[in-house]
């Protein structure tokens, strides 16, 4: 028998699917819909193994649901704006548009070679003016709806990329792409009012039952609802008061300092006359603006020399510091520090020699002798050293402080949010222009809808860093639409996360003359299954949830949650390699020497193997999907991606694993292409012999289990079930009574079950089995209930309540036959040892207990 040739088969079936428009989606109210979507890629130029894994998973779901009778939408597009294109323009002297569209063409070709069941007629790119004109229209609608504003604010400035970063884009004080330490600058920025939906975004997380718990927790923490108290502290010798927000008013009697943000108005006023403080403020601006950044940075303070009076203890005061860990954006930009019960405050107090006064005492401790050592105490307990709070629980103390503060007029209860409004201004060229014109007479003027899109000029120079739109001789100069006087375009462009916050809705009607066609989004949304990396839990996923609500407010659609189900896949990992000089090597640059040692492929010098890490270009531990597809075929790559690890976990790429997947494609070919199978349509026999019946049971159990496993995203388990059915076929030795028919049923089922995972091979075998209809258009098999029940059961036999034997017996055996089988077992005879059986207790098909 000839070997399966994936090169011929894969090209052939991809062309058949394309010609037949097998995966084109059309709204059909008479059929249940299923919208499956993988996070669309940035067109970097080549797909990587992470793409292969992600899109294979989505394709399995799409093909499976289509076979189950659903009207499936499975589109693809390109998250095409962004700084890498500008960087390429700087480095290679090529326009970002040319670079981007060439990359799109190459990646489209690569994705098509994977055999994905995508509706390419809906393809879109966010850099296309036909896409972003609608984004500009929605921005203006959001502006009218009060969801957009512009103000000066302190921002994270990436000095390498010359642009603003959102808090979420600053990782450990560095730009998420450049890795360069960020700076704080004050700039006029456009904001989307995501905080208007903070309560709703938080509350709705409970309803996202098909989202991973870890993602919901990450969003819950990021939104960060906190109930607390706003307190006024009077300053000694000055008329001002300092407002403080705290979630721990119970610890007020343990306060030993106040701390202000570097951007607090009082700080700014003091710094004008204090050069040392001004220098400290400037130092604070060198770090990021996010809570995560200040949490990890060294805690620094500047003693202002001011003192704040304690609200409840007359004559007591605490020093006022400016501290780099206090954010102006959270609460009031001022805190009181209680070192005994907050680790950050404790670290600060130890550094600056401030008092540490315990006021919450654990149940097992004595107040008089209780001391704080290296760690602050943050657990439960009773109040002590706290005047009218002594003896109260933490909860009762919080309520008591709030009540007295409100009664005294120097405090009020308040809910605060960690979530900040979304700053969407970016100082770069390759992004969607913000459709605003600045006029000296009229102020900010929206671009008229008839003038949309505001397109990017093509004649720009990338001869130096920064935004070339600012330097363009004509594009930014325009007449004011309101008064006609000379005015200037907004030269900031949108954060690319705006582009990806609604693309899933545009896929529903990508040719519509408005952002969405209402009938289409009403039919397709929400996305039933969204697939992508957990790294997008806070950025893209939270922004999309907000953006969908903003679209709902403006009448574009009638859903609040864009993604009903979310699956976050693991990463693809590979061992890392270094040469003797410590330089990273590609796996292809290594080989095994005669003695089995790993050496450099060219020099023969020793190579050291490092730990397995996520595939990355920087460490060169990457495998080119195109090479794998060329050598083994797309189905082998797909099968390995699904078979070797649970999809939510990281997958270790190994050559041995790929070879194993390749061998199975050949094995499946041999099993299904064998001669001697009955022709399609042969009548089912009335009787089946034992071997044929056993094979049929294995077949129908495989149908049930693979169905359940794909539904549950247990793709690796589904693969294992298919292996089991293949083994049952291999072991089948025939049966004169219905054996040939059972064999054909099993082979056909094996091919059908493998179809979503290895679609090209399955189509080839489906045709060989005599089917006229495409497998991609054929129904999923349903198991026969009678064949899911085993004829034999395993029965536990006890003597006096102790397990003595397990027997394989016929199902539903009568009591006389059951008694005879049990007493014939040698282990039971020995356990009875001649004793009389008083009673036999039977749990049908499960347990027999002999009472002696």
DSSP state, 501? Answer: T
Of the given ranges (284-293, 360-369, 538-547, 770-779), which has the lowest mean pLDDT?
A: 284-293
Joined tokens for residue 831: 């356990």
pLDDT for residue 676 is more than 70: no
**Confidence tier at 573 by pLDDT (50, 70, 90):** confident
Of the given ranges (6-15, 189-198, 205-214, 529-538), which has the lowest mean pLDDT?
A: 529-538
Q: List, in order, residues 6 or more apart from 132 with CB less than 8 Å away.
A: 126, 432, 433, 453, 499
Residue with tokens 């041999």: 670
| Over residues 639-666, mean pLDDT | 92
| Over residues 529-539, mean pLDDT | 92
CATH of domain 225-417: 3.90.740.10
Distance of alpha carbon 310 from its chain centroid, rounded? 46
| Over residues 103-122, mean pLDDT | 97
CATH of domain 672-788: 1.10.730.10
Q: What is the pLDDT of residue 90?
A: 79
Joined tokens for residue 405: 């503060």
Q: pLDDT exceeding 90 applies to what percent of the chain?
A: 75
**Confidence tier at 295 by pLDDT (50, 70, 90):** low
Q: What is the pLDDT of residue 287?
A: 67
Of the given ranges (85-99, 339-353, 394-408), which has the lowest mean pLDDT?
A: 85-99
Q: List, in order, residues 6 or more apart from 522 with CB less than 8 Å away.
A: 557, 558
Q: Are 833 and 821 in contact (CB under 8 A)?
A: no
Count other C-beta atoms under 10 Å from residue 138's C-beta: 22
Q: What is the pLDDT of residue 163?
A: 81
pLDDT for residue 283 is more than 80: yes
Q: What is the pLDDT of residue 675?
A: 64
Q: Are 86 and 96 in contact (CB under 8 A)?
A: yes
What's the CA gap between 520 and 507, in Å, rounded? 9
Q: What is the pLDDT of residue 535?
A: 87
Q: Are 412 and 394 in contact (CB under 8 A)?
A: no
**Confidence tier at 793 by pLDDT (50, 70, 90):** confident
What's the CA gap between 92 and 168, in Å, rounded? 30
Sheet holding 225-234: strands in order across? 241-246, 225-234, 411-417
Joined tokens for residue 218: 């990450």
149 three-state secondary structure: strand
In DSSP terms, 697 is beta-bridged to: none
Q: What is the pLDDT of residue 611?
A: 85
Q: Which residues of 585-611 are buried (b: 16+ CB within 10 A; e: fewer)?
A: bebeebeeeeeeeebbeeeeeebeeee
Of the given ranges (12-26, 222-236, 451-465, 633-647), which has the lowest mean pLDDT?
A: 451-465
Q: What is the pLDDT of residue 168?
A: 65
204 three-state secondary structure: helix
Q: Are 476 and 493 in contact (CB under 8 A)?
A: no
Q: What is the pLDDT of residue 290?
A: 57
**Confidence tier at 1 by pLDDT (50, 70, 90):** low
Residue with tokens 């060329």: 630
If phi > 0 it is left, if psi is from -120 to 50 it is alpha, else beta; for residue 228 that is beta
H or E element at residue 592? strand 590-592
Of the given ranges (197-201, 295-299, 412-416, 683-687), which has the lowest mean pLDDT?
A: 295-299
Q: What is the pLDDT of residue 817?
A: 86
Radius of gyration of the chain from Cα atoms? 34
Q: What is the pLDDT of residue 169?
A: 75
Q: What is the pLDDT of residue 254?
A: 97
Count other C-beta atoms under 10 Å from residue 337's C-beta: 27
Q: What is the pLDDT of residue 293?
A: 59
Residue 14's closest CA among 91, 98, 113, 105?
113
Helix, strand, coil: what percent of the chain each, to 5?
Answer: 40, 20, 40
Q: Where would I find the beta strands (DSSP E) of 355-406?
A: 360-361, 382-383
Mean pLDDT over each residue of the chain, to the nearest integer: 93
List the Cα angle 345/348/349 in 5-degree steps: 85
| Over residues 345-349, mean pLDDT | 96
Q: Where would I find the beta strands (DSSP E) of 476-546?
A: 477-479, 486-489, 493-494, 529-532
| Over residues 751-766, mean pLDDT | 98
Q: What is the pLDDT of residue 289?
A: 57
pLDDT for residue 121 is more than 90: yes
* Cis geometry, peptide bond prior to residue 464 (ω within 30 degrees of 0): no
What's the CA gap between 53 and 62, in Å, rounded? 14
Question: Domain residues of the chain, as ranges?
Answer: 225-417, 672-788, 792-851
pLDDT for residue 288 is more than 70: no
Of the given ranges (3-7, 75-79, 244-248, 570-574), which has the lowest mean pLDDT?
A: 570-574
Q: What is the pLDDT of residue 622?
A: 80
Strand 317-323 to 301-309 pairing: antiparallel
Give pLDDT tens digits for 353-391: 999 999 999 988 998 889 999 999 999 999 999 999 999
pLDDT for residue 314 is more than 80: yes
Give pLDDT tens digits for 762-791: 999 999 999 999 999 999 999 999 898 877
Q: pLDDT exceeding 70 applies to what percent of the chain?
A: 98
Give pLDDT tens digits for 127-154: 999 999 999 999 999 999 999 999 998 8
What is the DSSP code string of 614-634?
E--TTTT----HHHHHHHH-H
Of the given ranges (168-177, 502-511, 589-598, 628-637), which has the lowest mean pLDDT?
A: 168-177
In DSSP terms, 176 is beta-bridged to: none
What's the CA gap between 253 and 357, in Å, rounded? 8
| Over residues 47-51, mean pLDDT | 91
Count other C-beta atoms under 10 Å from residue 683's C-beta: 7
Q: What is the pLDDT of residue 617?
A: 76
Q: What is the pLDDT of residue 296?
A: 67
**Confidence tier at 521 by pLDDT (50, 70, 90):** very high
Q: What is the pLDDT of residue 173?
A: 81
What's the CA gap between 582 and 660, in Å, rounded? 32
**Any idea which fold 792-851 has?**
Ubiquitin-like (UB roll) (3.10.20)
pLDDT for residue 404 is more than 70: yes
Q: What is the pLDDT of residue 588?
A: 83
């Amino acid at each position: 028998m000839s070997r399966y040739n994936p090169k011929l088969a894969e090209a052939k079936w991809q062309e058949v699917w394309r010609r037949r428009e097998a995966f084109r989606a059309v709204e059909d109210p008479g059929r249940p819909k299923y919208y499956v979507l993988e996070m669309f890629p940035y067109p970097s130029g080549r797909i990587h193994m992470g793409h292969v894994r992600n899109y294979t998973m989505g394709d399995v779901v799409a093909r499976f649901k289509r076979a189950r009778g659903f009207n499936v939408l499975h589109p693809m597009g390109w998250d095409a704006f962004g700084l890498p294109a500008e960087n390429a323009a700087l480095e290679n002297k090529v326009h970002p548009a040319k670079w981007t569209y060439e990359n799109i063409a190459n990646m489209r070709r690569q994705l098509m070679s994977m055999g994905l069941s995508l509706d390419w007629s809906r393809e879109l790119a966010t850099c296309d003016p036909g896409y972003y004109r609608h984004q500009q229209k929605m921005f203006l609608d959001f502006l009218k709806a009060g969801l957009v504003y512009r103000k000066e604010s302190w921002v994270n400035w990436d000095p390498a990329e010359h642009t603003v970063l959102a808090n979420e884009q600053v990782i450990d004080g560095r730009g998420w792409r450049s890795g360069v330490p960020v700076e704080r600058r004050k700039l006029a920025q456009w904001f989307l009012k995501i905080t208007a939906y903070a309560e709703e975004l938080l509350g709705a997380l409970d309803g996202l039952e098909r989202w991973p718990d870890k993602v919901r927790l990450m969003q819950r923490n990021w939104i960060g609802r906190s109930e607390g108290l706003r307190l006024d502290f009077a300053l000694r010798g000055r008329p001002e008061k300092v407002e403080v927000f705290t979630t721990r008013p119970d610890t007020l009697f343990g306060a030993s300092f106040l701390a202000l943000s570097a951007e607090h108005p009082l700080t700014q006023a003091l710094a004008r006359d204090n050069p040392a403080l001004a220098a400290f403020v400037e130092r604070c601006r060198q770090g990021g603006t996010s809570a995560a950044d200040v949490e990890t940075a060294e805690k620094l303070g500047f003693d202002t020399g001011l003192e704040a009076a304690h609200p409840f203890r007359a004559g007591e005061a605490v020093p006022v510091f400016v501290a780099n860990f206090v954010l102006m954006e959270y609460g009031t930009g001022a805190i009181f520090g209680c070192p005994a019960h907050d680790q950050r405050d404790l670290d600060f107090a130890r550094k600056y020699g401030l008092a540490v006064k315990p006021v919450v005492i654990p149940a097992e401790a004595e107040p008089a002798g209780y001391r704080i050592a290296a760690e602050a105490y943050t657990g439960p307990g009773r109040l002590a050293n706290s005047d009218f709070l002594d003896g109260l629980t933490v909860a009762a103390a919080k309520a008591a402080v709030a009540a007295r503060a409100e009664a005294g007029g120097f405090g009020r209860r308040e809910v605060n949010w960690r979530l900040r409004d979304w700053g969407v201004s970016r100082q770069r060229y390759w992004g969607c222009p913000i459709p605003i014109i600045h006029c000296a007479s009229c102020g900010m003027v929206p671009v008229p809808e008839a003038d949309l899109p505001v397109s990017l000029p093509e004649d720009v120079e990338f001869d130096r860093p920064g935004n070339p739109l600012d330097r363009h001789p004509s594009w930014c100069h325009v007449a004011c639409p309101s008064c006609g006087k000379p005015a200037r375009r907004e030269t900031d462009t949108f954060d690319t996360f705006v582009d990806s916050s609604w693309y899933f809705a545009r896929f529903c009607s990508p040719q519509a003359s408005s952002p969405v066609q209402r009938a289409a989004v009403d039919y397709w949304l929400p996305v039933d299954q969204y697939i992508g990396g957990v790294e997008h839990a806070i950025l893209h996923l939270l922004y999309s949830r907000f953006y969908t609500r903003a679209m709902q407010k403006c009448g574009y659609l009638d859903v609040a949650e864009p993604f009903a189900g979310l699956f976050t896949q693991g990463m693809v990992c590979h061992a890392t390699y270094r040469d003797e000089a410590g330089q990273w090597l590609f796996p292809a640059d290594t080989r095994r020497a005669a003695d089995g040692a790993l050496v450099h492929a060219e020099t023969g010098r020793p190579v050291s193997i490092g730990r397995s890490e996520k595939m990355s270009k920087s460490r060169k531990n990457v495998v080119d999907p195109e090479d794998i597809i060329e050598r083994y075929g797309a189905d082998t790559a797909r099968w390995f991606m699904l078979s070797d690890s649970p999809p939510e976990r990281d997958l270790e790429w190994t050559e041995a694993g790929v070879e194993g997947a390749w061998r199975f494609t050949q094995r499946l070919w041999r099993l299904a292409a064998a001669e001697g199978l009955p022709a399609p349509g042969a009548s089912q026999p009335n009787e089946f012999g034992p071997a044929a019946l056993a094979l049929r049971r294995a077949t129908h159990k495989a149908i049930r289990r693979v169905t359940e496993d794909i539904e549950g995203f247990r793709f690796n388990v589904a693969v294992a079930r298919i292996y089991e059915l293949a083994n049952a076929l291999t072991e089948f030795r025939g049966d004169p009574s219905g054996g040939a028919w059972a064999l054909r049923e099993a082979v056909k089922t094996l091919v059908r079950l493998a179809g979503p995972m290895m679609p090209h091979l399955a189509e080839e075998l489906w045709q060989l089995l005599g089917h006229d209809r495409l497998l991609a258009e054929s129904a999923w098999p349903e198991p026969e209930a009678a064949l899911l029940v085993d004829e034999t059961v395993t029965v536990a036999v006890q003597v006096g309540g102790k397990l003595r034997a397990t027997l394989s017996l016929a199902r539903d055996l009568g009591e006389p036959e059951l008694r005879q089988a049990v007493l014939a077992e040698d282990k039971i005879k020995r356990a009875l040892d001649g004793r009389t059986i008083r009673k036999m207790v039977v749990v049908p098909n499960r347990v027999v207990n002999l009472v002696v």
